Structures are given as C-alpha cells and as structure tokens.
Amino acid sequence: MRKIETAMNRAILAKKDWEKDNTQVIYYHDVDESEVYLHGNHIATVGDNFVQLFSRGYRTNTTKSRLNAILKEHGIAGECVFQRKGEWFVSKYCGQFSVSPIFIEKEFEEGMILS
C-alpha cells in the first residue's frame, strides 16, 4: 500500500478531514461518514458498516489502487476491485462454507455498496 493510501486510511479511521496531493478525505459528523476524493472526484463513502464505491468514469490504476486500499482497511477480507480485459469487477466475500471462503465476482457498478 502506498504511503498516501496509508495516511488516507488513518484519516478515515480517525474520522478527520485530510488532504495530500490528489487525494482528500472529508468527514461528515452529522452522518458519521467519510467521503474520499481523487482529483476532486468522489470515489468512495465509508461508514461504520459499509463502503460505497465509485469510479466517476475514471477507471485508472490510481482509482483502483485507492479503492483497494479502502477495501483492505474498511471492507471484508477478500473484497477487491480488479480488471480483466479492460472491464472492472469486484470480488465479494460471501461467508464461509466448510473451511473455504466463498467469493463472488461481480461487475463493478457505480455506487455499489459493500457491507
């Protein structure tokens, strides 16, 4: 994880506003949620029990990296955004059956909520 992503996640956990270079976190006390911006584009909302994802049409490696850093810290183990043949997908953890975790692959959708 990049240093900027580590600092971004610290701000989300601390429920504080933060900004560095192209990344910004804004914490909203009234709803107890943090919004994450990349180049001024809202790419994620993080609450206590959910993460909402956006690309805003910028399906870049940097956007994907920021979203994956957020999911690693605030999502469920195994959730991630990945790309195959130019298309974005999300791997979602769906509980545990026997000893092997079950993952579902779903096409990335603007505003999708993982909880």
Q: Give me the pLDDT at residue 90, please.
A: 93
Beta bridge partners of 104: 92
Q: Give me the pLDDT at residue 96, please.
A: 54
Mean pLDDT for 6-35 is: 98
pLDDT band at 77 (very low <50, low <70, confident <90, very high): confident
pTM of the model: 0.90
CB atoms within 10 A of CB 9: 22
Query: Reduced to 3 DSSP states, what percent helix, strand and coil does the chain have, rounded to the nearest 5?
Result: 25, 45, 35
